[in-house]
Structure 1
Amino acid sequence: MAILGVESVIFGVDDLDRCAVFWQDFGLTPVRHAPDEHVFEVQTGAKIVVRRRGDPRLPTAYSHKVGAHETVWGVDTQESLNALVAGLRADREVTEDADGIFHFQADCGMPLGLKLWTPRKIVSQPDPVNAPGNIQRLNLHRKWRQRAIPKTINHVVFFVKDYVGTFEFFRDRLNFRLTDHTRGVGAFARADGAWEHHNIFFVSCELPVAPDEPGFMHMAFGLEDIDELMLGVNLMEKKGWKNESPNTMGGLSRHRISSAIYYYFDSPAGGEAEYHVDTDYLDDNWIPRSWDFKFGSLMWATRVPTMWQGDVPMDVTLDPEGKSLDAYRLKPKISAQTKEKV
């Protein structure tokens, strides 16, 4: 049985029309506009569904917040879907809607869905990259685009109370793989039928910069190359969209932990939307690693936050059995006084 990745993310928002403008400017393709719902898709067919908060179709877990209220995961075959649903029904309620989505909650209360899904095949053709002494593009000019067009939904990120326990639910009940662990910060996990470094990242609510309650942080959209990313950033900024959330902590940069080049935008649908390029791709031969949070989190091109300035020692070890997670099970919340000192 295999989960292929994110099939759709369903948002609850206050301003439906402003969110529709944002996602179109971001490069998504509109597929449905209705008074109570807007639907957009990337090239694989994975969707963003935007509904008003209070819509009876939305789950109740995050209903008091603007943001992603449910993540639906696409499953490769009917047999796989049946097996996953049967396993979940052993100890929780699972309901099916008219669209063939099976809805349930993880142990942490996160609303999730499973749906039979066949993503559309996409073919990327990034231009070869020249370097001194390594000519890959001779007598050939680079191609130029008119706008950024996201190809995939690479991953979603959620704040959770117990990131170890939440990862273990995804591992044990949905067959996700641990890919990396940022000690004390969170766990990265890959769906068993996916190739991206991670399809979900569980971030601890215990962090001083984290909210006290679980909820949505951001989601990443895969682009072809850095040229497309820069074009997308330029067009978004020209249209007035900003990158100011304290969670983003920087502009154009590359993640150390997954190698991806990225840029975040604050989204009126809640959290951030991330342009994402050149991530690591993995299979089951990958050995998870355990990282110090300073080294593993980010590498900035600009706007380096104070706590990451100066030398950051490399502190990473292989962790094939995920034993480093044991030391980070749910602990008491960091005090407000400690937060103020950070």
Structure 2
Amino acid sequence: MPLHRLTTITIGVPDVDAAAAYYTEFGLTPLGDNAFATSDGGEQFRLTHSTQRRLVEIGVGVDDPDDLDRVQRQLDALSLDTERSDGSLTATEPIAGFRAVVSIAPRIEQKIVDPTPYNGPGRVDRPDSRAPGIERQGQVVPHKLGHVVIGSTDQAATQKFFTDGLGFKISDTVPSMAAFMRCSTDHHNVLVQQAPLNFLHHTSWQVDDIDEIGRGAMAMLEGNPERHVWGLGRHHIGSNFFWYLKDPAGNFSEYYSDIDCIVDDALWKPGVWEGARSLFNWGPPPPPSFLMPEDLAALMTGSHSSE
């Protein structure tokens, strides 16, 4: 596919300094000017001031000018205005109003992380040694931005912007509720869900394995238990392990590992999911605040501020 990854995301928050401190503690590397990097993806996250928390911009990478031409034709067919410059194309999503910037960008190159050895019935893959996960020291550092979840008051229209406009592919759906869409081999890079208002639900960041999810979350919760949202668990759609935390503005951030990868489109069978499996396979039940974040009423009335 001409698209190959998420490049960056920019979010608006009332208190930039508080959010910057949170995401630095989360494991992103500050670059200055409220920009942050992952270990493999380079600069992938930016903060800007806004009276309410919101998604400002999402970036998508392509290989060459021909890919930009293709995306522009698709957006033109939807009668959407675009701005073209050397190496990039910008369009505004018509429902939530965030910018989508499609740019020529290098494909992400990730160093191979050795599989974690596990002992099992009749199998000793880790003889005479402790589990690596309990020996690890230091901060958990995400490898890359994996996906973004967006609430839209018109899920179908926002989905169409990503699929028909930008060229994302659908991996799985929840009828009349959500679409899991990809611009890479990862199961999903954007999820759009029906919501009572337009908002950013969460960003998701790849780490090595389930131990890194646990280590990262426990470090974030030490002294700050109010940051906990949901986890530890495993999603059914996408299969990834997860733990969700909450930043000072109310956005959720997820550590994830072991997500499904779709290398050959012809071999993947998109599913339609309902009920509990649309949310998770195992783990604690999702709290009401995950399904309907506690600040949505304030966002709807415009009273969410830096107070």
- TM-aligned CA deviation for residue 259 of structure 1: 1.1
Question: How much does 1:302 deviate?
Answer: 3.1
Match of 1:219 in 2: 203
Q: Which residue of 2 aligns with 1:26?
A: 26
From 132, 144, 148, the equivalent of 1:152 is 144
Q: Distance in 2 between matches of 1:15 and 1:96?
A: 32
Amino acid at match of 1:121: E
| Corresponding residue SS for 1:102 | strand
Counterparts in 2 of 1:135 and 1:184: CA distance versus 1, 3 Å: farther
1:176 positional shift: 1.2
RMSD: 2.3
Once the two structures are superposed, what CA deviation does each residue of 1:74-130 show, in whole Å capped at 9, x if it has no partner? Answer: 1122321233234424522222579x5432123434421111111442222232222
Residue 49 in 1 paired to residue 33 in 2? no
- Assess if the C-alpha contact under 8 Å between 1:70 and 1:110 holds in 2: no
Sequence identity (%): 26
Counterpart in 2 of 1:58? none
Q: Matches of residues 1-342 of structure 1 in structure 2 within 5 Å?
A: 2-33=2-33, 38-43=34-39, 44-53=41-50, 65-89=52-76, 91-96=79-84, 101-111=88-98, 112-123=100-111, 124-143=113-132, 144-191=136-183, 194-205=184-195, 212-240=196-224, 242-244=226-228, 248=229, 250-283=230-263, 284=265, 285-302=267-284, 305=287
In 2, distance between residues paired with 1:85 and 1:270?
34
Deviations 1:142-200 (A, max 9, x none): 43231211001111001112323322332222221111111232111111xx1111111
C-alpha distance in structure 1 between counterparts of 2:232 and 2:155, whole Å: 27
Distance 1:16 1:280 in 2: 33
The one-letter amino acid paired with 2:103 is: K
- Residue 243 of structure 1 deviates from its aligned partner by 3.5
Return the alpha-carbon distance in structure 2 between the equivalents of residues 185 and 294 of structure 1: 13
Which residue identity is paired with 1:157? V
1:106 and 1:169 in contact (8 A); partners too: yes
| Cα pair distance change 1:67/1:130, threshold 3 Å | farther
CA separation in 2, counterparts of 1:97 and 1:80?
A: 14
Aligned-partner residue type, residue 9 of structure 1: I
Task: Report the count of equivalent residues.
Answer: 279
Q: Which amino acid aligns with 1:40?
A: F
- Distance across 2 between alignment mates of 1:97 and 1:293: 45
Change (3 A) 1:294 1:141: closer
Residue 73 of structure 1 aligns to a residue in which SS? strand
SS in 2 for 1:79: helix
5+ unaligned residues in a row in structure 2: which ranges? 289-307
Q: Secondary structure at the match of 2:254?
A: strand
| Residues 35 and 43, structure 2, Cα contact 8 Å, conserved in 1 | no
**Which moves more between the two structures, 172-181 or 101-110?**
101-110
Which one-letter code corresponds to 2:218 in the other structure? Answer: N
Q: Distance in 2 between matches of 1:14 and 1:108?
A: 22
The AA in structure 2 aligned to 1:202 is: V
- Partner of 2:71, secondary structure, is helix
Q: How far does residue 268 in structure 1 lie from its aligned partner after superposition?
A: 2.4
For the Cα contact (< 8 Å) 2:74–2:166, is it kept in 1? no
Conserved? CA contact 1:184–1:293, under 8 Å: no
Amino acid at match of 2:35: V
Gaps of 5+ in 1: 54-63, 206-211, 307-342
1:229 offset after TM fit, Å?
A: 1.0
Structure 1 residues 198 and 95, CA gap change in structure 2 (3 angstroms): same
CA 80–268 in structure 1, closer or farther in 2 if over 3 Å, else same? same
The alignment partner of 1:227 has SS state of: helix
